[in-house]
């Protein structure tokens, strides 16, 4: 192949292209990114959380009484009305206690410190101490502490436990030291070391894996979780901020429970910690498929007479993120420990909603109100689900009519689709709304993602960079999946309590994130074998990262043969001779290959053999501003 990079012809592209889509699907939040180790800590699990599944949940799920004693659930006198239920432990004699197995066991590390806390009341008024222990299945104690002075009124108690060993599946025990009747709630255990050591923080290894992708934005909290599967299931951001005992837990539509421990404050904080723009997506006042009112089959949304209140809720979110620390909602952010604004610039309104009259009248109201009150915030609309996977006509008609700044498209397609549709955005009208490709992935039916799917995505991403003037943001979906608890496959990063297991597709996203640019140079590619089917399996993208001045060349080869390649950067550029070359390659069915980085000599014109089934990234320092 001959590749001629037109370095004399620079074009500005979006510097936000590579981001992540975080949805609480596949246990991505509780039991996943959110570092809480106790399952059902607030005794708020309900049968409806698990509707239609083999297992039935209730307020006692994940808990049991060890020894002689009984447990029941009460709601007469809760800590806070939002956190209605609590456990009452009745102990006729000393020695028994409550046990929690966490999410598939509690993973602990030798020498690590764990923060335990709980709310408690001694209901018979007798002051007691409570022993908190981490134990193995055979009763071996891995660490313990005694918290004294549990008295008659609800109060929060906390202490630290240091683990004396590493264990994959420990159990937490809570044992009052005197016979009596005790109420407990929000029994919690966190590793002291969370990502950036935030309180109520995130699991460090998982958060680091996301940070390592260098995402320019994080979309949250979904996906379908954002709009819910009914009016009562919409994700309402106010339910997820403030003290944990005041947050409103709810059923997760993917068939489990959402504690709201990972809420809007934590999302904003995470974005700031990794240098990503926050991209919250709020419901467009309609739930999934407009399934809001009137029972099965009927469509609906928030009643029109309540829309002013709903719009105010969105305004309040913007004040929470950006308002002065003395404003009503800014004050709540400051109380959570962040007096400075989070500097929110983007907001998604709606997720993959059917474009019906019900949707449209509500979206129009929200959009007009946002434009008037917060013109500087970029509103991202949705173009809806598509019958054939990529036909968004109705959504685009609305986007055109309202001149929505950006719209969210979603598609999951075969690798072949991604290979053959690299001109998808070449055809887009540059004068219309910009695109946020909010969900995409190459899917092989019933099979995990592998090097073939990853390379199909890498090829498609060359076309997204080429169209970086139209496609401003893109995020693979879904991001996280806990082994044994997936509702959607494939995903980008699998994990269990001990390990993070990035897929091959993850490395493609990571390489694009770490080596993205804000200036694009078009390239001419001539393959010696110039049949269209062949040439579509070989792609190139050249960008410059203005900050470093580095030139980045990406080459994707989805052909089964090595391609001898002549690369020509032209004469109007001075390159460092020593480049960094990163290659991801293997057999198309490989599930586990990883990028390998080496130093390599390059020049303005150089030859290289591009391996079959490979993704190659060159990062080259330039001695002068390229193309400037």
Known catalytic residues are 352
Between 10 and 223, CB nearer to ligand AHR: 223
224 to each of 51, 147, 253, 352, 481, how far by Cα in Å? Answer: 17, 42, 8, 8, 16
Between 173 and 352, CB nearer to ligand AHR: 352
Task: For the beta carbon of residue 45, count every other beta carbon within 10 angstroms.
Answer: 23
Q: Which stretch binds ligand AHR (CB under 6 A): 81-89, 219-227, 335-343, 503-511?
A: 219-227
Find the length of the chain.
628
As measured in angstroms, the least distance from the Cβ of 36 to ligand AHR is 23
Q: Is 478 in the site for ligand AHR (CB under 6 A)?
A: yes
CA atoms within 13 A on the CB side of 620: 27
As measured in angstroms, the least distance from the Cβ of 112 to ligand AHR is 33
Residue among 177, 24, 32 at smallest CA distance from 97 = 177
Between 22 and 396, CB nearer to ligand AHR: 22
Q: Which stretch binds ligand AHR (CB under 6 A): 105-113, 222-230, 326-334, 542-550?
A: 222-230
Between 175 and 410, CB nearer to ligand AHR: 410
Provide the CA 432 distance to its chain's centre, in angstroms. Answer: 28
Between 107 and 351, CB nearer to ligand AHR: 351
Tokens, residue 359: 């949707």
Tell me which residue has tokens 């709601």: 75
Tokens, residue 147: 């918290």
As measured in angstroms, the least distance from the Cβ of 410 to ligand AHR is 6
Restricted to residues 8-27, the positions that interact with ligand AHR (CB under 6 A) are 23, 25
Question: Binding string to ligand AHR for residues 409 to 438, with x set by CB under 6 A, is what?
Answer: -x----------------------------
As measured in angstroms, the least distance from the Cβ of 487 to ligand AHR is 9
Q: What share of the chain is helix, strand, coil (3-state, %, to 5)?
A: 20, 35, 45
Which position among 189, 224, 347, 593 is part of the footprint of ligand AHR (CB under 6 A)? 224
Q: Which stretch binds ligand AHR (CB under 6 A): 220-228, 273-281, 581-589, 604-612?
A: 220-228
Residue among 493, 412, 512 at smallest CA distance from 453 = 412
Cβ–Cβ < 8 Å for 250, 231: no
Query: From CA 446, how far away is CA 438, in angstroms rounded?
Result: 23
Task: Tell me which H or E stretch contains 176.
Answer: strand 167-176
Which position among 439, 457, 465, 550 is part of the footprint of ligand AHR (CB under 6 A)? 439
Q: Which residue is nearest to ligand AHR (CB)?
A: 223
Between 180 and 222, CB nearer to ligand AHR: 222
Annotate 259-275 with DSSP letters as a single string: --SS-HHHHHHHHHHHT
As measured in angstroms, the least distance from the Cβ of 439 to ligand AHR is 5
Q: Is 452 in the site for ligand AHR (CB under 6 A)?
A: no
Query: From CA 190, how far away is CA 102, in angstroms rounded?
Result: 11
Tell me which residue has tokens 């592998």: 450
As measured in angstroms, the least distance from the Cβ of 123 to ligand AHR is 43
Between 235 and 538, CB nearer to ligand AHR: 235
Restricted to residues 526-565, the positions that interact with ligand AHR (CB under 6 A) are none
As measured in angstroms, the least distance from the Cβ of 254 to ligand AHR is 8
Angle between helices 357-373 and 307-322 (to 10 degrees): 40
Q: Is 491 in the site for ligand AHR (CB under 6 A)?
A: no
Restricted to residues 336-375, the positions that interact with ligand AHR (CB under 6 A) are 351-352
As measured in angstroms, the least distance from the Cβ of 392 to ligand AHR is 14
Q: Is 488 in the site for ligand AHR (CB under 6 A)?
A: yes
Tokens, residue 297: 């089959």
Tokens, residue 240: 């997820």
Tokens, residue 324: 């002065």
Cβ–Cβ < 8 Å for 359, 385: no
Query: From CA 134, how far away is CA 142, in angstroms rounded?
Result: 5
- How deeply is 506 buried, as exposed, middle or buried, from its count of CB atoms within 10 A (0-12, 13-18, 19+)? buried
Between 21 and 342, CB nearer to ligand AHR: 21
Q: Is 386 in the site for ligand AHR (CB under 6 A)?
A: no
Which residues contact ligand AHR (rule: CB under 6 A)?
23, 25, 222-224, 351-352, 410, 439, 477-478, 488
């Amino acid at each position: 192949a001959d590749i001629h990079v037109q370095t004399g012809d620079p074009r500005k592209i979006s510097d936000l292209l590579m981001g992540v889509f975080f949805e609480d699907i596949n246990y991505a939040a509780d039991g996943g990114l959110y570092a809480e180790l106790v399952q059902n800590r607030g005794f708020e699990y309900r049968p409806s959380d698990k509707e239609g599944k083999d297992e039935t949940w209730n307020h006692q799920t994940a808990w049991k009484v060890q020894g002689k004693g009984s447990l029941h659930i009460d709601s007469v006198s809760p800590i806070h009305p939002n956190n209605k239920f609590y456990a009452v432990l009745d102990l006729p004699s000393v020695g028994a206690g409550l046990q929690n197995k966490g999410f598939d066991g509690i993973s602990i590390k030798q020498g690590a410190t764990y923060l335990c806390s709980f709310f408690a009341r001694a209901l018979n008024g007798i002051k007691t101490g409570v022993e908190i222990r981490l134990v193995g299945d055979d009763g071996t104690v891995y660490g313990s502490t005694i918290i004294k002075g549990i008295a008659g009124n609800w109060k929060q108690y906390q202490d630290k436990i240091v683990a004396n060993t590493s264990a994959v599946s420990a159990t937490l025990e809570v044992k009052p030291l005197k016979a009596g009747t005790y109420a407990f709630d929000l029994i919690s255990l966190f590793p002291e070391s969370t990502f950036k050591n935030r309180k109520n923080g995130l699991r460090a290894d998982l958060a680091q894996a996301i940070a390592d992708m260098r995402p320019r934005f994080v979309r949250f909290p979904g996906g379908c979780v954002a709009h819910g599967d009914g009016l009562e299931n919409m994700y309402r951001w106010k339910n997820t901020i403030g003290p944990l005992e005041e947050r409103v837990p709810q059923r997760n539509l993917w068939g489990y429970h959402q504690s709201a421990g990972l809420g809007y404050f934590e999302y904003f904080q995470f974005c700031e910690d990794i240098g990503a723009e926050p991209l919250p997506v709020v419901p467009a006042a309609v739930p999934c498929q407009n399934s809001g009112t009137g029972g099965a089959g009927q469509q609906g949304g928030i009643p029109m007479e309540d829309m002013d209140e709903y719009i105010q809720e969105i305004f309040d979110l913007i004040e929470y993120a950006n308002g002065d620390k003395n404003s009503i909602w800014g004050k709540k952010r400051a109380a959570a420990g962040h007096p400075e604004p989070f500097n929110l610039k983007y907001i998604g309104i709606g997720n993959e909603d059917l474009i019906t009259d019900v949707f449209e009248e509500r979206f129009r109201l929200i959009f007009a109100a946002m434009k008037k009150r917060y013109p500087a915030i970029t509103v991202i609309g949705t173009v809806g689900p598509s019958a054939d996977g990529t036909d968004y006509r109705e959504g685009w008609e609305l986007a055109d009519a309202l001149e929505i700044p950006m719209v969210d498209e979603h598609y999951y397609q075969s690798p072949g689709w991604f290979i053959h549709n690299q001109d998808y955005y070449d055809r887009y009208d540059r004068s219309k709304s910009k695109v946020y490709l909010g969900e995409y992935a190459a899917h092989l039916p019933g099979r995990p993602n592998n090097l073939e799917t990853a390379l199909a995505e890498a090829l498609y991403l060359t076309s997204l960079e080429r169209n970086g003037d139209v496609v401003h943001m893109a995020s693979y979906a879904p991001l996280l999946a806990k082994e044994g608890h997936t509702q959607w496959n494939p995903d980008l990063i699998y994990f269990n309590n001990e390990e993070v297991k990035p897929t091959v597709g993850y490395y493609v996203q990571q390489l694009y994130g770490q080596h993205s640019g804000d200036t694009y140079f078009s390239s001419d590619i001539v393959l010696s074998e110039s049949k269209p089917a062949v040439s579509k399996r070989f792609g190139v993208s050249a960008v410059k990262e203005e900050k470093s001045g580095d030139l980045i060349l990406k080459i994707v080869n989805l052909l089964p043969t090595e391609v001898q390649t002549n690369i020509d950067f032209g004469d109007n550029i001075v390159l460092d001779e020593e480049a960094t070359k990163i290659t991801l390659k293997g057999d198309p069915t490989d599930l586990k290959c990883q990028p390998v980085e080496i130093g390599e000599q390059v020049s303005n014109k150089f030859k290289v053999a591009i391996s079959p089934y490979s993704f190659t990234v060159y990062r080259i320092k330039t001695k002068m501003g390229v193309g400037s």
